Amino acid sequence: MTNADTPRRNFYGRAHGKTLRASQKTYLAEDLDRLRLPGVSVQDNPDRAPLDLDTAFPGTGSLWLEVGFGGGEHMVHMAARNPGIRLIGCEPFVNGIAMLLGKIRVAGVENLRIHPADVRDLFDVLPDACVAKVFLNYPDPWPKARHHRRRFVTPGYLLPLARVTAPGAEFRVATDIPDYVRQTLEEVPPAGFTLERQAGPGAAWEDWLSTRYEQKALREGRDPHYLTFRRNG
Ligand SMILES: C[S@@+](CC[C@H](N)C(=O)[O-])C[C@H]1O[C@@H](n2cnc3c(N)ncnc32)[C@H](O)[C@@H]1O
């Protein structure tokens, strides 16, 4: 794909929030370049050439992906718990990226890389069938019916996700929005995944770490839902 062919995409989320603390500015200045996955942004790879993972993220461990890592607590938890894997996280919200970098310093984990922008940039350049596990934790809910097509669980995201996931790959979705569960159950299977498990409050995955958005949902009286899909083989 050439730069001219790169689809023009609308991103409706937030890229900036509250003013960053001095320490967070330091993390961004000192750590992001080292942890950024090279060859993903259009500036870095204008021709959208497929990523050579052996160079971009060397290692032999399975490749995992977290979409929209927010403050990064789940991502750092998974990287620390599974030192043999390689975990890529995508998040355009700079305050979240700074929070993740702070947590990486504390945890001292090395087996993760960041694309500090839209996950669709990564989908453009990842080789086929290279990802073994995907986390989508509390995706933006887009509650209004006219905005449901902006949700991650639509073909614009799910078909590229299906291309980059290996047969048998696990795809986890956590959400507190019943209508998001409905749309996930409707749209994920036709993209090439089979529902394996559907659970409610108190029945998260055994290695789950509750996220900031889950804590907010619980405080506000909404129930978590946990869905697990497998990529068809
Ligand atoms: C509701 S928050 C949840 C954050 C975190 N996963 C949690 O559970 O606390 C959704 C996150 O997805 C991110 N996001 C939205 N669209 C995205 C995209 N296209 N690529 C990557 N991240 C995205 C947003 O910036 C936001 O931080």
Per the domain annotation, does 95 fall within a domain? Answer: yes
124 catalytic? Reply is no
Give, for ligand 1, the residue of 12, 67, 115, 157 to mutate: max count of ligand atoms closer than 8 Å to Cβ. Answer: 67
Per the domain annotation, does 6 fall within a domain? Answer: no
Per the domain annotation, does 28 fall within a domain? Answer: no
Q: How many domains is the chain partitioned into structurally?
A: 1
pLDDT, mean of residues 77-99: 97
Ligand 1 pocket check for 67: Cβ under 6 Å: yes
Q: Mean pLDDT over all residues of the chain?
A: 95
Residue 104's nearest CA partner among 77, 86, 83 is 77
Per the domain annotation, does 76 fall within a domain? Answer: yes
Q: Residue 60: which CATH number?
A: 3.40.50.150
Q: What confidence tens digit (pLDDT) does each residue in 140-176 have?
A: 999 999 999 999 999 999 999 999 999 999 999 999 9
Rg of the chain in Å (alpha carbons) = 17
4 pLDDT higher than 70: no
Per the domain annotation, does 154 fall within a domain? Answer: yes
Ligand 1 pocket check for 150: Cβ under 6 Å: no
Domain of 79, in residue numbers: 33-43+52-231
In this structure, which amino acid lies at residue 41? S
Ligand 1 pocket check for 212: Cβ under 6 Å: yes
Per the domain annotation, does 108 fall within a domain? Answer: yes
Residue 213 counted as an annotated binding residue: yes
The CA-atom distances, in angstroms, between 102 and each of 27, 99, 109, 122, 155 are 7, 5, 11, 23, 34
Largest CA distance in the chain: 48
Q: What confidence tens digit (pLDDT) does each residue in 104-141 have?
A: 999 999 999 999 999 999 999 999 999 999 999 999 99
Rounded to two decimals, the pTM is 0.95
Q: To which H or E segment does residue 212 belong? A: helix 212-219
Per the domain annotation, does 204 fall within a domain? Answer: yes
- Strands (DSSP E) contained in the chain are 63-67, 86-90, 112-115, 131-137, 165-175, 193-199, 225-231
